[in-house]
Structure 1
Amino acid sequence: MLGKHGRLWISRWVLTSLMLGLAIIFLTISANAASANSLQQEFQQAAKKYHVPVKVLMSVSYNETLWESHNGKPSVAGGYGIMHLTDVSASAVTSSKNGLKVAAKTTASQTLKKAAALTGKSVKTLKTDTKANIEGGAALLAFYQKQLGKSLTSDVNSWYGAVEKYSQDGTKQAAAFFANHVYKTIKSGASKSGTIITAQKVSPLKDQSEDAQLQSTPGATDGPDGLPIEWIPALYKEFDNKGDYGNYDIANRPSDGLKIDYIVIHNTETTFDEAINLFSTTASYTSANYVVSSVQGTVAEMVQPQNVAWHAGNWYINSHSIGIEHEGYAAVGGYWYTEAMYQSSADLVKYLAAKYNIPLNRQHIIGHDNVPGLTPASQKTMHWDPGTYWDWNHYFDLLGVNFKDSQGAGESNIITITPDANHNLTADSGQKVTDAGVTLPLKGSNFVYLYKQPSFSSDLIADKDFTTADSGTTEKDDWTDKAVEGQQFYKIGQSGDWTEIDYGGQNAWFYNPDNANTTGATGKVVTPIGSKAISVYGSAYPSQSLLKKNKVTGIKPSPIYTMQPGQHYVFGGEVTSDYFNSHFDSNRAKNVIKGTDKYVQIQFNHRIAFVKAADVTVK
């Protein structure tokens, strides 16, 4: 039993600890606020120095980089710092005559050097010092305004032409696309980590763009108004007299019975030009419907959406999807995807999703890494792009979807993976991301690791069709132990800071303190009927007998997993079985073999999958 002095000592200790804790919180908040205020002040100072409206300067930066400096590392387009000042080597410039590509590559090559000349600061300083980088961007805007014969006015509406020129694109479509987004941001306002653009009514003087003397490109493409897009057809020809052909199939979707259910997001692992050439000039047996460049988001349409591009490595998914390639690398040094590319791609996806009635969720807007194999063996060879650093949260925000909003109605044990940058991967826990053993950045990763037990000392889960090892790895291409932003799973239980879910036939745990990495959701849940395991497929193909009857050989619907009784997976829709029996130069309706089997799509593991509707209950 404590005496009077013991109670007094404890009270003082508690009070002191509380005051110390509050002081630490106050200092942390103050430091964060000071950092944000510092950035806001740097924009204001640079705007004043070069006589540029601060909202124009801030919005240009926001639409280039979301106010991220990326620690001095370049984007895929060769842009540095918060203003995305570009320094592309001459060797990266190609001599292609396809309008958009020439403009994108040649005019965006040296804004960094121009900014250095205008500010008197070194190229190295402009790359690595945020304040200097902002001044470089302000100096460029002022230079373009004067080059157009305009005054350095405080009226934000009078800077439209200078903003177009800042985009560094030589086509009216791409330059206007960028400028329109800049003014849209000013109109709506923007806020991030304490840095703020207050909303303001705008009416930009778009006639200024005529003074910029930008070239234009012809229409006849399938995309939203204002998107910088051109038609560059993929190769389509017979390669021999035995029926070998490529690089895509003619169809008449969805009128021929092939509903377009998915949009598949890829990254090229090449330059924009190399991807274009691969699809359009070589017998590569691969293609995409669209390719988006990292430089201001210019787009090449290569296979019309009604036709079937060869992009996903799964014929069923190919038959029911549109493939979009993005210039970039899933994990190379510090390279990062540009905001212009995200914006162009999101505008395109919104247009296509509305046109073909594709749901804007992560079971239908999927990465190549979410596409299942058709057989257990093919699971090992399936791709893993767009990879660890594709910002699904921001991408869906551009699509008008907030993963932190509860969606649907029904089962309440569903959770959406919404990783918090401070909690999904932590260095203190020993977590890391690797590329052949080389450590990659934790920041910007889009997933949570999945463990066998609720502990960082536990092994990561593994998949039998990816590795023979008992545990998963931290390698960037190991998709088997990662649950990604926006995916939804059934919550089994909770143990302290750890959440347990059904995942790929296993019980998987991930670190989730105070639900920092998830958002509660509602929807439909799929579970097996009865007491026996059921088959899980990578397609919704008709029966083997129906395929044989239609003289389709070499195709057999093969289970890739089993779902055990009592397991639960999130419902992604119901489809009727079909098979696209394609032939060169033929888009006849009878090429689509329609079955009668009903399949239910689920989010099974990292990838989507299908189960027969007769085998499950949906509640």
Structure 2
Amino acid sequence: MKKYKGLFSHVRWLVIAILFGSLMIGLSTNQVHAKTSSLETAFQQAANKYQVPVNLLKAVSYNESSFESHGGQPSVAGGYGVMHLTDTTGLIPNGANSKAEKVPNAASLHTLQKAAKLTGISVSKLKSNTTANIQGGAALLAAYQKSLGKPLTTNSASWYSAVKKYSQSDSKPAAEFFAANVYQILAKGVHKDGVTITPQKVNALKDEAVDSTKGESAETDGPAGLPIQWIPALYKEFDDQGDYGNYDLADRPNDQKINYIVIHNTETSFQDALSLFSTPTYSTANYVVSSVEGTVAELVRPQNVAWHAGNWYINSHSIGIEHEGYAAVGGFWYTENMYKSSAALVKYLAAKYGIPLDRQHIIGHDNVPGLNPTAQKGMHWDPGTYWNWNHYFDLMGVDLSQSQGDGSSSVITITPNEKYNLTAASGQKVTDDGVTLPLAGSNFVYLYKQPSFSADLIADKDFSTGQSGTTEKNDWSDKAVYGQQFSKIGDNGDWTEINYGGQSAWFYNPGGANSTNATGKLVTVKGTKAVPVYGSAYPSESILKKNKVTGVKPTPIYQLQPGQKYVYGGTVPAEYFNSHFNSNSAKNVIHGNNDYYQIQFNHRIAFVKASDTMIVTH
């Protein structure tokens, strides 16, 4: 059986189309954004009208959207505006090899309709107008409080159960997790986009005892309070020839160190992902996170090896987390419930297994290299251009844009600033099969062959068919993403040059607006000849053959040229996980006699032999 077990062989990545009649990408800024100075007023007016505590209303909004209206575009869960009012009418995921599948007609996915009845404001206006959206959210919150037989008091503490209902979750742990986040926001305070939540002491008045560490989460590996449930993936022998799925038993970190957490998105619904991983598909993940509620399903224990990354070496040394949603047209932004649950889970797992909280170890599926040049061409690109890495790490207590150096080192961190990056004035755009997508929320900088917007984008033989890159969302040959680190070659006016995938690449960086100085080590060639770059840290072919492993060998995917430097991500020993059904013996791990250095080579991580290279500091 092949060891490319993480590759989805039976499911093609879906592209979704949104048929919302009132949704127009070209909505003007005035239509979809309330002015920053008016947001505070809008919250106050809505709170007064519907007799909701104003700071509680703000905290619910911040918990749903961080006060971002996202240009009137829907989230992956069909939510609109700063209050995340939902409407999935007409939302149809459409896969290349599957029939069109409508989103479930659940009440939680149609809160816009209920808000429209409560306020008398049209659904289209609630979607596109921030002031109206806030009124809709306030009306809903008040209606939930009344339905519970509670007074519309100014005491935020007494609104706990109404806040739980606003989560739209039927899961008690998920509703409690949502409410806990809202009250934490009230306790800590917020000042953003002209809106202020003054820190206050609030002890939520709960109608029932909170016991989120028992019940659904009793058998799971996750932080206390996370809405998590054990839903085991399929583990079964399919025939008498050694064919089995959908994961491998192991004894990590005792037999192999867990070095990475890989972030995916499903391109299916939450339930469809769970169904997929419970059938013989040779694919699964350790965890799946839902978009509307932020509920988490644990399918494969972290000590075992899930088949999720399409790279057997990365599978063997990583935990895979799938996120419900669609990375292309339609779902332009991921929900706060999803981000907060996932960030809490990653922070917990990173601490438990000693995984660094940086972008060389908390990686996207798009950062996973292929094991050979052929596999490299088919590697995935999720979680896509709209996954907010900066916000995600901020929720884990890590600020990727915080200066880490004085400029004396050549290491820089990519930290795009939306005021200076991907601006319409530059002529830059993001496309999906030629259809222009929103610029706002994109997480990368474009890379050019020369310091000019009129220059060609750089290309990569494994991603581009032509001599220049494209603006397509899944063309990662010409994009450097938030948090990734590279060696800076120099500056030319408003442009910065870096080493990227064997090329010199330029990105727009006026006054350093789209990057942050950092400190770190760099890897470069020892001698005067190019050395191989690998997609794994496997032992030599001779050692593998000695251990009766055939058809597997460390295969170069690129060449590291003399003089080029790439950011060092750690030293890893050569290892191969020679797994077998119902076996998690330490003897399954084959050890080599050499080490590799991990580097950030292009958009993906990669490995070079320590014997071929050396570490420098500038």
Check conservation: 2:329, 2:432, Cα contact below 8 A.
no
Note if 1:395 corresponds to 2:388: no
**Residue in structure 1 matched with residue 203 of structure 2 by the alignment:** 203
Please point out which of 298, 307, 311 is paired with 2:308. 311
Note if 1:589 corresponds to 2:551: no
Please point out which of 292, 296, 300 is paired with 1:295. 292
In structure 1, C-alpha distance between the alignment counterparts of 2:426 and 2:88, rounded to whole Å: 38
Structure 1 residue 434, shift from structure 2 partner: 1.0
Note if 1:264 corresponds to 2:262: yes
Check conservation: 2:63, 2:336, Cα contact below 8 A.
yes
**Residue in structure 1 matched with residue 374 of structure 2 by the alignment:** 377
Structure 1 residue 616, shift from structure 2 partner: 1.5
**Residue in structure 2 matched with residue 4 of structure 1 by the alignment:** none
**Residue in structure 2 matched with residue 169 of structure 1 by the alignment:** 169
**Residue in structure 2 matched with residue 323 of structure 1 by the alignment:** 320
**Residue in structure 1 matched with residue 277 of structure 2 by the alignment:** 279
Structure 1 residue 431, shift from structure 2 partner: 1.1
In structure 1, C-alpha distance between the alignment counterparts of 2:522 and 2:307, rounded to whole Å: 32
Structure 1 residue 193, shift from structure 2 partner: 2.2
In structure 2, C-alpha distance between the alignment counterparts of 1:340 and 1:323, rounded to whole Å: 19
Structure 1 residue 117, shift from structure 2 partner: 2.1
**Residue in structure 1 matched with residue 249 of structure 2 by the alignment:** 250
**Residue in structure 2 matched with residue 23 of structure 1 by the alignment:** none
Q: Which consecutive residues of structure 2, in runs of 5 or more, have no partner in the other structure?
A: 1-32, 94-103
Please point out which of 533, 547, 551 is paired with 1:550. 547
Structure 1 residue 242, shift from structure 2 partner: 1.0
**Residue in structure 2 matched with residue 229 of structure 1 by the alignment:** 228
**Residue in structure 1 matched with residue 456 of structure 2 by the alignment:** 459
Q: Which has the higher contact order (CA 8 A, sep 6+)?
A: 2
Note if 1:513 corresponds to 2:524: no
Check conservation: 2:422, 2:428, Cα contact below 8 A.
yes
Check conservation: 2:266, 2:322, Cα contact below 8 A.
yes
Structure 1 residue 346, shift from structure 2 partner: 0.3
Please show how residues 408-419 of structure 1 align to structure 2 within 5 Å. 412-419=409-416
Note if 1:149 corresponds to 2:149: yes
Please point out which of 564, 584, 587 is paired with 2:561. 564
Deviations 1:379-401 (A, max 9, x none): 10000100111111111111111
Deviations 1:240-266 (A, max 9, x none): 22111111111111112x100000000
Name whichever of 403-412 and 137-146 sits farther off. 403-412
**Residue in structure 2 matched with residue 57 of structure 1 by the alignment:** 57
- AA aligned to 1:388 is T
Deviations 1:77-121 (A, max 9, x none): 22222211123459999xxxxxxxxxx984513322222222222
Q: Secondary structure at the match of 2:113?
A: helix
Deviations 1:176-219 (A, max 9, x none): 100111111111111222222122222222x23569xxx96352
In structure 1, C-alpha distance between the alignment counterparts of 2:494 and 2:551, rounded to whole Å: 49
Q: Secondary structure at the match of 1:507?
A: strand
**Residue in structure 1 matched with residue 350 of structure 2 by the alignment:** 353
Please show how residues 55-94 of structure 1 align to structure 2 within 5 Å. 55-89=55-89
Distance 1:132 1:75, change over 3 A: same
Name whichever of 183-192 and 483-492 sits farther off. 183-192
Q: Secondary structure at the match of 2:216?
A: coil
- AA aligned to 2:296 is V
**Residue in structure 2 matched with residue 179 of structure 1 by the alignment:** 179
Q: Secondary structure at the match of 1:489?
A: strand
**Residue in structure 2 matched with residue 97 of structure 1 by the alignment:** none
Structure with greater helix share of residues = 1
Check conservation: 1:52, 1:138, Cα contact below 8 A.
yes
Q: Which consecutive residues of structure 1, in runs of 5 or more, have no partner in the other structure?
A: 1-32, 94-103
TM-score where L is the length of structure 2: 0.89
Check conservation: 1:259, 1:320, Cα contact below 8 A.
yes
- AA aligned to 2:306 is A
- AA aligned to 2:118 is L
Q: Secondary structure at the match of 2:174?
A: helix
Structure 1 vs Structure 2: percent identity of aligned residues? 69
In structure 2, C-alpha distance between the alignment counterparts of 1:146 and 1:513, rounded to whole Å: 53
TM-score where L is the length of structure 1: 0.89
Distance 1:410 1:612, change over 3 A: farther
- AA aligned to 1:139 is A
Check conservation: 2:333, 2:441, Cα contact below 8 A.
no
- AA aligned to 1:198 is T
In structure 1, C-alpha distance between the alignment counterparts of 2:398 and 2:406, rounded to whole Å: 17
Check conservation: 2:34, 2:130, Cα contact below 8 A.
no
Name whichever of 593-602 and 216-225 sits farther off. 216-225
